[in-house]
Structure 1
Amino acid sequence: MPTWLVTGGAGFIGGNFVREAVAHGVRVVNLDALTYAGNLESLRDLDGNPDHVFIHGDIGDRALVSRLLAEHRPDAVLNFAAESHVDRSIDGPAAFIQTNVVGTLALLESVRDYWKSLQGAAREGFRFLHVSTDEVYGTLGETGKFTETTPYAPNSPYSASKAASDHLVRAFHHTYGLPTLTTNCSNNYGPYHFPEKLIPLVIAKALAGEPLPVYGDGRQVRDWLYVSDHCEAIRTVLAGGRVGETYNIGGNAEKQNIEVVQAICALLDERRPREDGKPRESQITFVADRPGHDRRYAIDASKLRDELGWEPKYTFERGLAETVDWYLANQDWVRHVLDGSYRLERIGVSA
């Protein structure tokens, strides 16, 4: 049974990845600092599972990370840990630099030292996989897509911090020989998504009868990737990706923000109609645009397809319908996030 150290494994993408990895026969050591986006309720189905070891801690704690590496001897380290909300990075960029840059550097130093201590097949097979974002590439015009060779041009403090972490990973491979892999993904969606991001936010506000805020004219374009497809892609890159390479992961689902909001409204009108019979599109409200808002992202994932045979399984329509259904069936989880009670789960976690 392989062992993987997963950082940020109580967050949205990391939590989905951890659950799937354990289901695929991997022993996961899950290190998460449990910032506001870390939610142990999202890992409830792994309670008591000996193949999931949760540790409350920070990737910047070199002593802790070094101890975990020495104790559990992982075959791979996968770094999901990150501050990731653009609006929060505009309001307070320092936290993003601390976690995404300083924290990643500390993690890389600990992992480098551990890797150097390995021998033979263990050293040859070890991998460090860094999960990043397409936002490092900046913004696109009406045509074109991001490739792995697109120059970096980050436009928010969040994307700048992720770009810096990507460069550090690249440097540790070229300078020290650390066997790294980097993935840059498009916008994820699916179960357990923290309800400050577009899709879960719209679902929650629509059900509450509140205005549905849409930035600017709502015509910003994103490539939407269902989180389970993303998790499978990461496993694929980990298993067969070329050391030192970057792989873009996209969902082949470019949508304008307003189209996404309208699609959610239509699904909710079918499944949970308003008592007054009005369409939920009537709740849409256009608000002042976000500062420096990137206009369009689009991913060219042909390298991943051609080298490793991965393509997304979910269409946007199928993924969004399953996402809406999950939120309707898990309103307790949503309620605990919105009222903050999920954070009480931090009491008594291991460290």
Structure 2
Amino acid sequence: MRILVTGGCGFIGSALVLHLVQDLGHDVLTLDALTYAANPLSLAPLKGDERHRFAEGDICDADRVGALFEEFRPQAVMHLAAESHVDRSITGPAAFIRTNVVGTQVMLEAARAHHGRLAGAEKECFRFLHVSTDEVYGSLPPGGFFTEESRYDPRSPYSASKAASDHLARAWHETYGLPVLVTNCSNNYGPRHFPEKLIPLMILNALEGRNLPVYGDGQNERDWIHVEDHARGLVAVLERGRVGETYLLGGRAVRNNLDVVRTLCAIFDRLRPEAGPHERLITFVTDRPGHDRRYAIDPTKAEAELGWRPTRSFEQALEDTVRWYLDNAGWWQPIREGRYAGERLGLTG
């Protein structure tokens, strides 16, 4: 297939693009604006691979997006481009509204125009997969789980902007007949994760002997899914999902933040015992505004309908993630040292 992936230089996007090209042999066009959290190095394994093309561009640029649709003629779109950090959305919400809401509308309109030009089997097979987050559902009570029927209740500018984009995607399906699928996922972890998020931040701080800041009392619970399990799930939805449906993808690995950090400390105590004990670095800091207490996904629908399920053990995959960061300083050091902005590293086209 010819698949257009937006946000393909980001954390989840790069895992998806690598899976699509290297494992499945699809032809992929990656569209990415290369903002601060996008790292071209994440797609370095595809350099010289004729099955992959890269286009730098903003999903809010309707002319650029429309031209890429006409040139590449995708058979599917997997839309991941988004601003995604809650803390940044609190201090600067405008960028989240622009990218997540306006950008999604631009992508949907371009896909609708493209779909209208198709005929026969090409038109029948075209899909637009909109990738979202479980944060749109708000906070769960203890022991609760999100399902596809959960009520939307976003609590931050980030989650509100993603909720709006979900509604737009469904509206374009209902109003215009665009063959849309929607996914909502739990917290991702794994290689190539920008180090402002919890797990990579803790890994790099522990490696450098810095404090490990934990919000509030550390009891906020999250369901964790390995990014490569998520990538497989997205492909399963694209290939086998029912048009117009939503599928929740979770890892069945609910942990509170403090337990995650303590698990990381135990891993570092084994791998770098000379610098331990690492729990001494844990520091509790003032909680952020609107910090949801619990997210957890029930992925039964995706498992039953699509034959997909998470395969990674959280503790083992977390150790594998730590080892990846220890072995790949060339990926993260430029970010930590502030030298990263503006690098393109040959991903042109």
- The TM-score normalised by the length of structure 2 is 0.98
Tell me the amino acid that sits aligned with residue 297 of structure 2: I
Tell me the amino acid that sits aligned with residue 127 of structure 2: R
5 Å matches for 1:10-21?
Answer: 10-21=9-20
Q: 298-307 or 168-177: which moved more?
A: 298-307
5 Å matches for 1:283-302?
Answer: 283-302=281-300
2:323 match = 325
5 Å matches for 1:1-351?
Answer: 2-23=1-22, 24-275=24-275, 278-346=276-344, 350=348
Tell me the amino acid that sits aligned with residue 9 of structure 2: A
For the Cα contact (< 8 Å) 2:4–2:76, is it kept in 1?
A: yes
Task: Map Cα deviations across residues 187-240 of structure 1 (whole Å, 9 max, x no partner).
Answer: 000000000000000011011111100000000000000000000000000000
Partners of 2:160 and 2:256 lie apart in 1 by 24
Which secondary structure state, in structure 1, belongs to the residue aligned with residue 321 of structure 2? helix
For the Cα contact (< 8 Å) 1:39–1:343, is it kept in 2?
A: no
For the Cα contact (< 8 Å) 2:249–2:297, is it kept in 1?
A: yes
How far off is 1:36 after superposition? Answer: 0.3
How far off is 1:348 after superposition? Answer: 6.6
Which secondary structure state, in structure 1, belongs to the residue aligned with residue 181 of structure 2? strand
Q: 321-330 or 340-349: which moved more?
A: 340-349
Give ranges in structure 2 of 5+ residues lacking alignment.
Answer: none
Q: 92-101 or 327-336: which moved more?
A: 327-336
Which secondary structure state, in structure 1, belongs to the residue aligned with residue 162 of structure 2? helix
Partners of 1:164 and 1:350 lie apart in 2 by 32
Which secondary structure state, in structure 2, belongs to the residue aligned with residue 136 of structure 1? helix
Task: Map Cα deviations across residues 130-177 of structure 1 (whole Å, 9 max, x no partner).
Answer: 000000000001022101110100000000000000000000000000
Tell me the amino acid that sits aligned with residue 52 of structure 2: H
Task: Map Cα deviations across residues 237-278 of structure 1 (whole Å, 9 max, x no partner).
Answer: 000000000000000000000000000111111112234xx3
Partners of 2:240 and 2:346 lie apart in 1 by 38
Partners of 2:269 and 2:312 lie apart in 1 by 22
Partners of 1:279 and 1:190 lie apart in 2 by 24
Tell me the amino acid that sits aligned with residue 321 of structure 1: E
For the Cα contact (< 8 Å) 1:61–1:106, is it kept in 2?
A: yes
How far off is 1:343 after superposition? Answer: 2.8
Partners of 2:140 and 2:253 lie apart in 1 by 15
For the Cα contact (< 8 Å) 2:224–2:314, is it kept in 1?
A: yes
Give ranges in structure 1 of 5+ residues lacking alignment.
Answer: none
For the Cα contact (< 8 Å) 2:40–2:345, is it kept in 1?
A: no
Tell me the amino acid that sits aligned with residue 125 of structure 1: C
For the Cα contact (< 8 Å) 2:27–2:52, is it kept in 1?
A: yes
Partners of 1:136 and 1:129 lie apart in 2 by 17
For the Cα contact (< 8 Å) 1:274–1:280, is it kept in 2?
A: no
CA RMSD of aligned residues (A): 1.1
For the Cα contact (< 8 Å) 2:41–2:345, is it kept in 1?
A: no
Partners of 2:98 and 2:207 lie apart in 1 by 36
Partners of 2:203 and 2:29 lie apart in 1 by 32
For the Cα contact (< 8 Å) 2:40–2:347, is it kept in 1?
A: no
Partners of 1:219 and 1:274 lie apart in 2 by 29
Partners of 1:17 and 1:348 lie apart in 2 by 20
For the Cα contact (< 8 Å) 1:129–1:180, is it kept in 2?
A: yes
For the Cα contact (< 8 Å) 1:40–1:342, is it kept in 2?
A: no
- The TM-score normalised by the length of structure 1 is 0.97
Tell me the amino acid that sits aligned with residue 46 of structure 2: L
Which secondary structure state, in structure 2, belongs to the residue aligned with residue 292 of structure 1? coil
Which secondary structure state, in structure 1, belongs to the residue aligned with residue 31 of structure 2? strand
For the Cα contact (< 8 Å) 1:41–1:342, is it kept in 2?
A: no
Partners of 2:223 and 2:20 lie apart in 1 by 25
Tell me the amino acid that sits aligned with residue 338 of structure 2: G
Tell me the amino acid that sits aligned with residue 81 of structure 1: A
Partners of 1:284 and 1:348 lie apart in 2 by 39
Task: Map Cα deviations across residues 44-80 of structure 1 (whole Å, 9 max, x no partner).
Answer: 1111111110000011111111111111111100001
After TM superposition, the runs of 4+ consecutive aligned structure 1 residues lying more than 4 A away are: none
Partners of 1:226 and 1:158 lie apart in 2 by 22
Q: 320-329 or 336-345: which moved more?
A: 336-345
Partners of 1:255 and 1:47 lie apart in 2 by 37
Tell me the amino acid that sits aligned with residue 22 of structure 1: V
Tell me the amino acid that sits aligned with residue 306 of structure 1: A
